[in-house]
Amino acid sequence: MPNLIRCLDSLARGIDCFTEWTGRLIAWLTLAMMVLTCTVVVMRYFLETGSIALQESVTYLHSLLFLLGAAYTLKRGGHVRVDILYQRFTPRIQALVDAVGTLLFLIPVCLLILVFCWEYVANSWAIHEVSKEARGLPLVYLLKSLLLIMPLTLLLQGLAEFIKNLLFFFGVGGGHVGEQQEGMV
C-alpha cells in the first residue's frame, strides 16, 4: 500500500508541476494582450488605420488566457466557492467535500464539455475554418480546439486535486488547497 500512496502522490505532484508551469507561461499572454490592445488603439485613433487580424489576435489571446488558465486557477484554489458551510468545516472534511465535488461535478462537467464540443471542433478542423472577416486570422479551427484542451487540462488537474484531497483525508500525505493561494503568478 505505501508504494501505491507514493505512486499516487508522485502522479499528483507531476500534474501539479505541469499545471504550474503552463499556468505561469500562459500568464504572460496578459502582457501580450495588453500590448496588442494598445497597438490597436494607437493605430485606430492616432494613425487612422486598423487591422482586423490584430483585433482578432486580442480575442485569441483572451481565449487562450482563460481557457488554458482554468486548470492553473483550480490548482491555486482561485475558483469560486459558494458553500457557506464549507468554511466552517475542518480541513479534513473540506478535503472530503472537495474530493466528492471533483467526482460529482468537475469530472462530469469536463466530460460533457468534451462530448458536446467534439463534433463542433471536428467540423471546424474538417473545413480548416477561417475568420469571416476578409483580413481576419485563418486559424479559427485552432482557436476552437481550446474547447477540447481546456476540459482535458481541468480533468488532469482535477485528478491531482482528487488524489491530494483523498490522501489528506486519510492522513497519508497529499495536501489540501482549501483557500486561495496568494500570489497567483
Tally of domains within the chain: 1
Q: Is residue 127 part of a domain?
A: yes
Identify the helix (H) or strand (E) that includes residue 183.
none
Question: All 3 cell numbers of residue 49?
Answer: 488605420
Q: How far, in Å, CA of 50 to CA of 58, rounded?
A: 13
pLDDT of 174: 72
Instruction: Give a yes or no: residue 177 inside a domain.
Output: no
In terms of Cβ atoms closer than 10 Å to its own Cβ (0-12, 13-18, 19+), residue 32 is middle
In a domain, 174, yes or no: no
Domain assignment present for 59: yes
Neighbours of 51 (CB within 10 A): 15
Q: Residue 119 belongs to what domain range?
A: 2-75+88-169
Flag whether 176 is in a domain: no
Helix (H) / strand (E) containing 162: helix 140-169
Put simply, whether the predicted model's pTM sits higher than 0.75 gets the answer yes
Q: Is residue 17 part of a domain?
A: yes
What does each of the 185 residues of the chain score in pLDDT, given as a tens digit?
Answer: 689 999 999 999 999 999 999 999 999 999 999 999 999 999 999 999 999 999 999 999 999 999 999 999 999 988 877 678 888 899 999 999 999 999 999 999 999 999 999 999 999 999 999 999 989 999 999 999 999 999 999 999 999 999 999 999 998 877 776 555 555 44
Contact between residue 102 and residue 169 where contact means Cβ atoms under 8 Å apart: no
> 42 in a domain, yes or no?
yes
Q: How would DSSP label each residue in 70-100?
A: HHHHHHTT-S----TTGGGS-HHHHHHHHHH
Nearest to 67 by CA among 124, 128, 146, 159: 146
Cell numbers for 104, please give them.
460529482
Residue 157: inside a domain: yes
**pLDDT (0 to 100) of residue 175:** 72
For residue 90, give the 3-state DSSP assignment: coil
CA distance 12 to 17: 9
